[in-house]
Amino acid sequence: MGHSGLVPPHGGELVDRTGASPERVAPRVAVTLTERQQCDFEMLAIGAMSPLEGFMGAADVASVCDRMTLADGTLWPMPITCAVDDATAAKVKLGEPVSLVDDAGRLLGYLTVTEKFRQDKKRQAVKAFGTDDPAHPGVKVLMDEGDTCLAGRIDVVTPRHGPMFADHRLTPAQTRAEFERRGWRTVAAFQTRNPIHRAHEYLTKCAQEITDGLLIHPLMGATKDGDIAPEVRMKCYEVLIEGYYHPDHTMLSVMPAAMRYAGPREAILHAILRQNYGCSHIIIGRDHAGVGDYYGTYEAQEIFDALPDGALKIMPLKFEHAAWSKRAGGMVSGKTFPKIEGDQVFLSGTKVREMLLRGERPPVEFTRPEIADILIESMRQS
Protein backbone atom coordinates (compact mmCIF):
# COMPACT_ATOMS: atom_id res chain seq x y z
CA MET A 1 0.00 0.00 0.00
CA GLY A 2 2.96 2.32 0.69
CA HIS A 3 3.50 3.61 -2.84
CA SER A 4 -0.03 5.00 -3.16
CA GLY A 5 0.74 8.06 -1.06
CA LEU A 6 -2.28 7.41 1.17
CA VAL A 7 -1.86 7.00 4.91
CA PRO A 8 -1.06 3.33 5.80
CA PRO A 9 -3.65 1.21 7.64
CA HIS A 10 -3.35 0.99 11.44
CA GLY A 11 -0.78 -1.72 12.13
CA GLY A 12 0.47 -1.57 8.52
CA GLU A 13 -1.77 -4.08 6.73
CA LEU A 14 -5.45 -3.92 5.79
CA VAL A 15 -7.19 -7.03 7.13
CA ASP A 16 -9.78 -8.79 4.95
CA ARG A 17 -11.71 -11.68 6.53
CA THR A 18 -14.37 -11.90 3.79
CA GLY A 19 -14.75 -14.60 1.15
CA ALA A 20 -15.40 -17.65 3.35
CA SER A 21 -17.48 -20.39 1.76
CA PRO A 22 -20.89 -21.09 3.32
CA GLU A 23 -20.79 -24.69 2.09
CA ARG A 24 -18.77 -26.14 4.97
CA VAL A 25 -20.34 -28.56 7.48
CA ALA A 26 -22.49 -26.50 9.82
CA PRO A 27 -20.85 -26.16 13.24
CA ARG A 28 -22.57 -27.66 16.30
CA VAL A 29 -23.25 -24.29 17.90
CA ALA A 30 -24.77 -21.14 16.40
CA VAL A 31 -24.33 -17.79 18.14
CA THR A 32 -26.83 -15.00 17.46
CA LEU A 33 -24.96 -11.70 17.47
CA THR A 34 -26.49 -8.65 19.15
CA GLU A 35 -26.99 -5.47 17.17
CA ARG A 36 -23.67 -4.03 18.33
CA GLN A 37 -21.84 -7.32 17.72
CA GLN A 38 -23.23 -7.41 14.18
CA CYS A 39 -21.84 -3.91 13.60
CA ASP A 40 -18.46 -4.93 15.07
CA PHE A 41 -18.51 -8.11 12.95
CA GLU A 42 -19.02 -6.10 9.76
CA MET A 43 -16.26 -3.62 10.71
CA LEU A 44 -13.86 -6.50 11.50
CA ALA A 45 -14.83 -8.33 8.28
CA ILE A 46 -13.97 -5.46 5.92
CA GLY A 47 -10.73 -4.46 7.63
CA ALA A 48 -12.05 -1.23 9.19
CA MET A 49 -10.78 -2.54 12.53
CA SER A 50 -7.33 -3.55 11.25
CA PRO A 51 -5.14 -5.00 12.71
CA LEU A 52 -7.88 -7.01 14.50
CA GLU A 53 -8.84 -10.26 12.73
CA GLY A 54 -11.61 -11.23 15.10
CA PHE A 55 -13.00 -10.79 18.60
CA MET A 56 -10.50 -10.01 21.37
CA GLY A 57 -9.16 -12.41 23.97
CA ALA A 58 -8.72 -11.70 27.68
CA ALA A 59 -5.12 -10.40 27.42
CA ASP A 60 -6.07 -7.85 24.74
CA VAL A 61 -9.16 -6.73 26.66
CA ALA A 62 -7.17 -6.25 29.87
CA SER A 63 -4.42 -4.36 28.04
CA VAL A 64 -6.94 -2.14 26.22
CA CYS A 65 -8.63 -1.28 29.51
CA ASP A 66 -5.40 -0.57 31.43
CA ARG A 67 -3.02 0.79 28.80
CA MET A 68 -5.19 1.63 25.78
CA THR A 69 -3.11 -0.77 23.65
CA LEU A 70 -3.46 -4.34 22.47
CA ALA A 71 -1.27 -6.87 24.30
CA ASP A 72 1.40 -6.37 21.57
CA GLY A 73 1.56 -2.62 22.27
CA THR A 74 -0.51 -1.40 19.27
CA LEU A 75 -2.74 1.56 20.16
CA TRP A 76 -6.36 0.44 20.69
CA PRO A 77 -8.90 2.20 22.95
CA MET A 78 -12.03 0.00 23.23
CA PRO A 79 -12.65 -3.72 23.87
CA ILE A 80 -14.17 -5.46 20.81
CA THR A 81 -15.73 -8.62 22.22
CA CYS A 82 -18.26 -11.34 21.44
CA ALA A 83 -20.16 -11.85 24.70
CA VAL A 84 -22.69 -14.69 24.96
CA ASP A 85 -25.00 -15.99 27.67
CA ASP A 86 -23.96 -18.82 29.96
CA ALA A 87 -26.14 -21.43 28.20
CA THR A 88 -24.44 -20.73 24.86
CA ALA A 89 -20.97 -20.53 26.41
CA ALA A 90 -21.43 -23.96 28.02
CA LYS A 91 -21.98 -25.59 24.60
CA VAL A 92 -18.87 -24.09 23.01
CA LYS A 93 -15.66 -26.14 22.87
CA LEU A 94 -12.26 -24.52 22.42
CA GLY A 95 -10.74 -25.03 18.98
CA GLU A 96 -14.14 -25.55 17.38
CA PRO A 97 -15.80 -23.14 14.98
CA VAL A 98 -19.21 -21.71 15.82
CA SER A 99 -21.65 -20.20 13.31
CA LEU A 100 -22.38 -16.51 13.74
CA VAL A 101 -25.90 -15.52 12.70
CA ASP A 102 -27.96 -12.32 12.74
CA ASP A 103 -31.24 -11.89 14.60
CA ALA A 104 -33.13 -13.39 11.64
CA GLY A 105 -30.96 -16.53 11.91
CA ARG A 106 -29.07 -15.83 8.65
CA LEU A 107 -25.47 -16.99 8.45
CA LEU A 108 -22.86 -14.21 8.65
CA GLY A 109 -19.75 -16.33 9.10
CA TYR A 110 -17.76 -18.39 11.55
CA LEU A 111 -15.69 -17.84 14.67
CA THR A 112 -12.99 -20.34 15.55
CA VAL A 113 -13.03 -20.17 19.34
CA THR A 114 -9.53 -20.00 20.81
CA GLU A 115 -10.59 -18.72 24.21
CA LYS A 116 -13.60 -18.39 26.53
CA PHE A 117 -13.39 -15.94 29.41
CA ARG A 118 -15.65 -14.16 31.90
CA GLN A 119 -15.73 -10.41 31.43
CA ASP A 120 -15.49 -8.04 34.38
CA LYS A 121 -18.19 -5.66 33.18
CA LYS A 122 -17.91 -3.09 35.97
CA ARG A 123 -14.15 -2.74 35.53
CA GLN A 124 -14.47 -2.60 31.75
CA ALA A 125 -17.16 0.09 32.00
CA VAL A 126 -15.10 2.28 34.33
CA LYS A 127 -11.96 1.95 32.17
CA ALA A 128 -13.51 2.25 28.70
CA PHE A 129 -16.44 4.60 29.40
CA GLY A 130 -15.13 6.37 32.50
CA THR A 131 -18.35 5.39 34.33
CA ASP A 132 -20.41 2.34 35.30
CA ASP A 133 -23.66 4.33 35.38
CA PRO A 134 -26.31 2.09 33.74
CA ALA A 135 -28.01 5.24 32.38
CA HIS A 136 -25.02 5.69 30.01
CA PRO A 137 -26.15 4.12 26.68
CA GLY A 138 -22.81 2.39 26.01
CA VAL A 139 -22.60 1.02 29.55
CA LYS A 140 -26.20 -0.23 29.29
CA VAL A 141 -25.35 -2.27 26.16
CA LEU A 142 -22.35 -3.77 27.99
CA MET A 143 -24.36 -4.61 31.12
CA ASP A 144 -27.21 -6.17 29.10
CA GLU A 145 -24.96 -8.58 27.15
CA GLY A 146 -23.72 -12.00 28.26
CA ASP A 147 -20.99 -12.55 30.84
CA THR A 148 -18.72 -14.87 28.82
CA CYS A 149 -16.69 -13.74 25.81
CA LEU A 150 -15.71 -15.96 22.89
CA ALA A 151 -12.43 -14.95 21.26
CA GLY A 152 -10.89 -15.89 17.92
CA ARG A 153 -10.51 -15.06 14.26
CA ILE A 154 -13.60 -14.71 12.11
CA ASP A 155 -14.22 -16.08 8.63
CA VAL A 156 -16.88 -14.08 6.88
CA VAL A 157 -19.52 -15.35 4.47
CA THR A 158 -21.38 -12.01 4.28
CA PRO A 159 -20.63 -8.94 6.39
CA ARG A 160 -24.38 -8.18 6.58
CA HIS A 161 -27.58 -9.31 4.86
CA GLY A 162 -29.46 -6.66 2.84
CA PRO A 163 -27.58 -3.71 4.31
CA MET A 164 -28.96 -0.18 4.13
CA PHE A 165 -27.31 2.22 1.67
CA ALA A 166 -25.44 -0.61 -0.08
CA ASP A 167 -24.29 1.76 -2.87
CA HIS A 168 -22.73 4.11 -0.30
CA ARG A 169 -21.36 1.37 1.95
CA LEU A 170 -17.75 1.39 0.79
CA THR A 171 -15.16 -0.81 2.49
CA PRO A 172 -11.73 0.61 3.44
CA ALA A 173 -10.24 -1.00 0.32
CA GLN A 174 -12.94 0.69 -1.79
CA THR A 175 -12.57 4.16 -0.23
CA ARG A 176 -8.80 3.93 -0.70
CA ALA A 177 -9.27 2.96 -4.35
CA GLU A 178 -11.68 5.85 -4.86
CA PHE A 179 -9.31 8.36 -3.20
CA GLU A 180 -6.55 7.18 -5.56
CA ARG A 181 -8.86 7.41 -8.57
CA ARG A 182 -9.61 11.02 -7.61
CA GLY A 183 -5.93 11.77 -7.06
CA TRP A 184 -6.44 12.58 -3.38
CA ARG A 185 -3.45 12.02 -1.07
CA THR A 186 -4.77 13.86 1.96
CA VAL A 187 -8.37 13.28 3.05
CA ALA A 188 -10.24 14.70 6.04
CA ALA A 189 -12.90 12.49 7.60
CA PHE A 190 -16.01 13.97 9.21
CA GLN A 191 -17.66 11.67 11.76
CA THR A 192 -21.34 12.42 12.23
CA ARG A 193 -24.48 10.79 13.58
CA ASN A 194 -26.76 13.82 12.99
CA PRO A 195 -27.78 16.05 10.07
CA ILE A 196 -25.06 18.59 9.24
CA HIS A 197 -25.96 22.11 10.33
CA ARG A 198 -24.12 25.32 9.43
CA ALA A 199 -21.56 25.00 12.24
CA HIS A 200 -20.51 21.54 11.08
CA GLU A 201 -20.52 22.66 7.47
CA TYR A 202 -18.03 25.36 8.50
CA LEU A 203 -15.72 22.80 10.17
CA THR A 204 -15.78 20.51 7.15
CA LYS A 205 -14.98 23.39 4.80
CA CYS A 206 -12.06 24.54 6.95
CA ALA A 207 -10.76 20.97 6.63
CA GLN A 208 -11.32 21.05 2.86
CA GLU A 209 -9.09 24.12 2.57
CA ILE A 210 -6.08 22.15 3.85
CA THR A 211 -6.67 18.69 2.31
CA ASP A 212 -7.35 17.28 -1.16
CA GLY A 213 -10.76 15.94 -0.24
CA LEU A 214 -13.43 15.54 2.41
CA LEU A 215 -15.04 12.21 3.32
CA ILE A 216 -18.40 12.82 4.95
CA HIS A 217 -18.58 9.52 6.81
CA PRO A 218 -21.79 9.19 8.83
CA LEU A 219 -21.96 6.41 11.36
CA MET A 220 -24.90 4.23 10.36
CA GLY A 221 -24.65 1.30 12.78
CA ALA A 222 -26.46 1.04 16.09
CA THR A 223 -27.25 4.39 17.74
CA LYS A 224 -29.39 5.29 20.76
CA ASP A 225 -33.10 6.01 20.94
CA GLY A 226 -33.85 9.60 20.00
CA ASP A 227 -31.18 9.82 17.29
CA ILE A 228 -32.61 10.77 13.88
CA ALA A 229 -33.57 7.89 11.54
CA PRO A 230 -30.80 6.83 9.12
CA GLU A 231 -32.89 7.35 5.95
CA VAL A 232 -33.68 10.94 6.99
CA ARG A 233 -30.05 11.67 7.81
CA MET A 234 -28.87 10.21 4.51
CA LYS A 235 -31.30 12.41 2.56
CA CYS A 236 -29.99 15.46 4.47
CA TYR A 237 -26.37 14.62 3.57
CA GLU A 238 -27.16 14.08 -0.12
CA VAL A 239 -29.16 17.30 -0.48
CA LEU A 240 -26.56 19.35 1.40
CA ILE A 241 -23.63 18.00 -0.62
CA GLU A 242 -25.49 18.57 -3.89
CA GLY A 243 -26.33 22.16 -3.02
CA TYR A 244 -23.38 23.41 -0.96
CA TYR A 245 -20.21 21.36 -1.56
CA HIS A 246 -17.78 21.02 -4.47
CA PRO A 247 -18.29 17.60 -6.09
CA ASP A 248 -14.58 17.23 -6.98
CA HIS A 249 -13.53 17.58 -3.34
CA THR A 250 -16.37 15.88 -1.46
CA MET A 251 -17.34 12.24 -1.02
CA LEU A 252 -20.12 10.53 0.94
CA SER A 253 -19.84 7.00 2.31
CA VAL A 254 -21.44 5.36 5.33
CA MET A 255 -19.60 3.63 8.16
CA PRO A 256 -21.47 0.63 9.58
CA ALA A 257 -20.05 0.93 13.10
CA ALA A 258 -22.07 1.10 16.31
CA MET A 259 -21.92 4.19 18.52
CA ARG A 260 -20.49 3.46 21.96
CA TYR A 261 -20.81 7.04 23.30
CA ALA A 262 -17.43 6.58 25.00
CA GLY A 263 -16.22 10.16 24.50
CA PRO A 264 -12.40 10.48 24.46
CA ARG A 265 -11.63 6.78 23.93
CA GLU A 266 -14.19 6.56 21.14
CA ALA A 267 -12.61 9.61 19.48
CA ILE A 268 -9.38 7.55 19.27
CA LEU A 269 -11.34 4.58 17.90
CA HIS A 270 -13.01 6.81 15.28
CA ALA A 271 -9.56 8.06 14.25
CA ILE A 272 -8.17 4.51 13.88
CA LEU A 273 -11.18 3.42 11.82
CA ARG A 274 -10.82 6.43 9.49
CA GLN A 275 -7.07 5.82 9.12
CA ASN A 276 -7.98 2.34 7.90
CA TYR A 277 -10.40 3.89 5.39
CA GLY A 278 -7.45 5.90 4.02
CA CYS A 279 -8.02 9.28 5.68
CA SER A 280 -5.02 11.40 6.73
CA HIS A 281 -7.03 13.77 8.98
CA ILE A 282 -10.11 13.53 11.18
CA ILE A 283 -12.24 16.39 12.46
CA ILE A 284 -12.58 16.22 16.25
CA GLY A 285 -15.13 18.70 17.52
CA ARG A 286 -16.46 19.66 20.89
CA ASP A 287 -17.51 16.66 23.04
CA HIS A 288 -16.77 14.17 20.23
CA ALA A 289 -18.72 10.91 20.73
CA GLY A 290 -19.97 12.20 24.06
CA VAL A 291 -23.37 11.79 25.66
CA GLY A 292 -24.98 13.73 28.50
CA ASP A 293 -22.32 15.34 30.68
CA TYR A 294 -20.10 12.29 31.23
CA TYR A 295 -17.09 13.90 29.51
CA GLY A 296 -15.41 17.30 29.57
CA THR A 297 -16.04 19.61 26.60
CA TYR A 298 -12.60 19.15 25.03
CA GLU A 299 -11.51 15.86 26.68
CA ALA A 300 -11.83 14.03 23.35
CA GLN A 301 -9.28 16.45 21.84
CA GLU A 302 -6.87 16.41 24.78
CA ILE A 303 -6.56 12.60 24.77
CA PHE A 304 -4.74 12.80 21.40
CA ASP A 305 -2.01 14.92 23.01
CA ALA A 306 -1.20 12.11 25.45
CA LEU A 307 -0.57 9.50 22.73
CA PRO A 308 3.00 8.34 22.05
CA ASP A 309 4.57 9.70 18.85
CA GLY A 310 3.71 7.57 15.83
CA ALA A 311 0.91 5.63 17.57
CA LEU A 312 -1.50 7.08 15.02
CA LYS A 313 -0.75 8.10 11.43
CA ILE A 314 -3.98 10.09 11.09
CA MET A 315 -3.96 13.68 12.37
CA PRO A 316 -6.77 15.12 14.50
CA LEU A 317 -8.10 18.51 13.40
CA LYS A 318 -9.36 20.07 16.62
CA PHE A 319 -12.22 22.52 16.37
CA GLU A 320 -13.94 24.71 18.91
CA HIS A 321 -17.66 25.37 18.93
CA ALA A 322 -18.69 27.41 15.87
CA ALA A 323 -21.75 29.60 15.35
CA TRP A 324 -23.02 32.41 13.12
CA SER A 325 -21.98 35.90 14.24
CA LYS A 326 -24.36 38.68 13.23
CA ARG A 327 -21.61 41.25 13.63
CA ALA A 328 -19.00 39.35 11.59
CA GLY A 329 -21.62 38.31 9.05
CA GLY A 330 -20.44 34.70 8.98
CA MET A 331 -19.41 31.61 10.92
CA VAL A 332 -16.96 32.19 13.76
CA SER A 333 -15.41 30.18 16.58
CA GLY A 334 -13.80 30.99 19.91
CA LYS A 335 -10.51 31.23 18.04
CA THR A 336 -11.57 33.61 15.29
CA PHE A 337 -13.92 36.11 16.90
CA PRO A 338 -14.57 37.43 20.41
CA LYS A 339 -17.77 36.57 22.23
CA ILE A 340 -20.18 39.55 22.19
CA GLU A 341 -23.40 39.46 24.21
CA GLY A 342 -26.31 38.35 22.00
CA ASP A 343 -24.20 38.31 18.84
CA GLN A 344 -24.13 34.61 17.99
CA VAL A 345 -27.06 32.60 16.68
CA PHE A 346 -27.03 29.65 19.08
CA LEU A 347 -29.85 27.10 19.28
CA SER A 348 -29.92 24.06 21.52
CA GLY A 349 -30.87 20.71 20.00
CA THR A 350 -34.07 20.77 22.06
CA LYS A 351 -35.02 24.22 20.79
CA VAL A 352 -34.37 23.21 17.15
CA ARG A 353 -36.51 20.09 17.65
CA GLU A 354 -39.38 22.16 19.08
CA MET A 355 -39.24 24.56 16.11
CA LEU A 356 -39.21 21.71 13.59
CA LEU A 357 -42.14 19.99 15.34
CA ARG A 358 -44.13 23.22 15.00
CA GLY A 359 -43.26 23.23 11.30
CA GLU A 360 -41.03 26.27 11.69
CA ARG A 361 -37.70 26.57 9.95
CA PRO A 362 -34.79 27.45 12.21
CA PRO A 363 -32.95 30.57 10.97
CA VAL A 364 -30.78 30.19 7.85
CA GLU A 365 -27.77 31.11 9.99
CA PHE A 366 -28.30 27.84 11.84
CA THR A 367 -29.39 25.38 9.16
CA ARG A 368 -29.81 25.36 5.38
CA PRO A 369 -33.51 25.69 4.44
CA GLU A 370 -33.48 22.45 2.39
CA ILE A 371 -32.28 20.52 5.44
CA ALA A 372 -34.93 22.11 7.67
CA ASP A 373 -37.60 21.09 5.14
CA ILE A 374 -36.47 17.45 5.16
CA LEU A 375 -36.51 17.39 8.97
CA ILE A 376 -39.91 19.11 9.24
CA GLU A 377 -41.37 16.62 6.74
CA SER A 378 -39.90 13.62 8.60
CA MET A 379 -41.37 14.86 11.90
CA ARG A 380 -44.79 15.34 10.30
CA GLN A 381 -44.71 11.72 9.17
CA SER A 382 -43.51 10.20 12.44
Positions annotated as catalytic residues are 193-194
| Angle, helices 349-357/369-381, rounded to nearest 10 degrees | 70
79 vs 65: CA distance, rounded Å: 7
Q: Is the bond preceding residue 51 a cis peptide, omega within 30 degrees?
A: yes
Question: For residue 242, with 0-12 CB atoms within 10 Å meaning exposed, 13-18 middle and 19 or more buried, which class applies?
Answer: exposed
Taking the mean position of all CA atoms in its chain, how far away is CA 250?
19
Question: For residue 16, with 0-12 CB atoms within 10 Å meaning exposed, 13-18 middle and 19 or more buried, which class applies?
Answer: middle
Q: Are residues 95 and 42 in contact, defined by beta-carbon separation less than 8 angstroms?
A: no
Determine how many CB atoms are found less than 10 A away from the CB of residue 364: 12
Determine how many CB atoms are found less than 10 A away from the CB of residue 44: 24
Q: Are residues 48 and 276 in contact, defined by beta-carbon separation less than 8 angstroms?
A: yes
